[in-house]
Amino acid sequence: MKDLDTKMEETTATPWDQWFEMLTAFKAEKGHCLVPHNYKTPEGYPLWYWVRKMCRDKSSGELSAGQIERLNSLEFVWDLQDLSWEKGFAALQAYKAEYGDCLVPDGYVTRDDYPLGIWARDQRYFDGNYPREKYHRLAELGFVWDLREYAWDRMYAALEAYQKEHGDCLVPKGYLVEGGVDLSMWVTRQRSDLANNYLTQQKLSKLNKLGFCWATADDLPHVLFVPSDKDSISSTSTSSRSL
């Protein structure tokens, strides 16, 4: 079997511009330039070997500035050590195109058996320690690093919509919102979180602005204190135990 260097050199028999056109077509179809191992075009051209040669030629200074610029225009991946991350990012792009968000379930596997759920989970472990370029690419795609905060914000938005429609935050038991989520249970959880000092001051303030009811109808005659923005959460815990 011919070694890798030999196969890469054999690609020089085909004009560079022709290879570039083939890569452009691949990008248009797949949405990225991550050519699979040993991939050949429908016409039989070994595009993978040419892509590998481009990476080698750039590192050795054999590519012209114009060639590098043209490849960059396709978001070409130069560092093969980043290939694993780029594969995950490309899969995430495809997921968003299909489902409209980047909320990949933990155990989700793509149709070609890529464990995208694990990849997405791993990205959250690196929040705050990401290379700036990768962080911005994920952010622009709408990636969510803190799922708990994201879930809270979505439910708050649902409560905000409820308050706008009904004029209050007295959500009846069993009231479901988009996705079949029980908004009344979330409302009850906020009261519990307040009583147990789990609710942040920022969240308390946001709920107060909606006119949130911190006590149920049965509790109202016994309420000694209703938290306000000026009150600390810790000072409400004793008087809110019945909420």
Give pLDDT tens digits for 88-132: 888 999 999 999 999 999 899 999 888 999 999 988 877 656 677
Q: What is the pLDDT of residue 2?
A: 52
The pTM assigned to this predicted structure is: 0.54
Q: What is the pLDDT of residue 242?
A: 29
Q: At what angle do helices 132-141 and 83-99 cross, to 10 degrees?
A: 10
Q: Is 2 helix (H, G, I), strand (E, B) or coil?
A: coil
- Residues 51/23, Cβ–Cβ less than 8 Å: yes
Q: What is the pLDDT of residue 82?
A: 72
- Residues 151/178, Cβ–Cβ less than 8 Å: no
Q: What is the pLDDT of residue 166?
A: 95
Task: Please say if the pLDDT value at position 40 is more than 50.
Answer: yes
Residue 16: both structure tokens together: 């560079």
Q: What is the pLDDT of residue 220?
A: 43
Give tens-digit pLDDT for 177-228. 887 889 999 999 999 999 889 999 999 999 999 999 887 655 444 333 456 5
Kindly state the percentage of the chain with pLDDT values over 70: 85
Q: How far apart are CA 41 and CA 52, in angstroms?
A: 15
Q: What is the pLDDT of residue 30?
A: 84
Show the beta-strand stretches assigned E in the chain: 176-177, 181-182
Count of Cβ atoms closer than 10 Å to residue 182 Cβ: 15
For residues 209 and 77, the model is more confident at: 209
Residue 191 CB burial class (10 angstroms; 0-12, 13-18, ≥19): buried
Q: How far apart are CA 117 and CA 110, in angstroms?
A: 9
For residues 84 and 138, the model is more confident at: 138
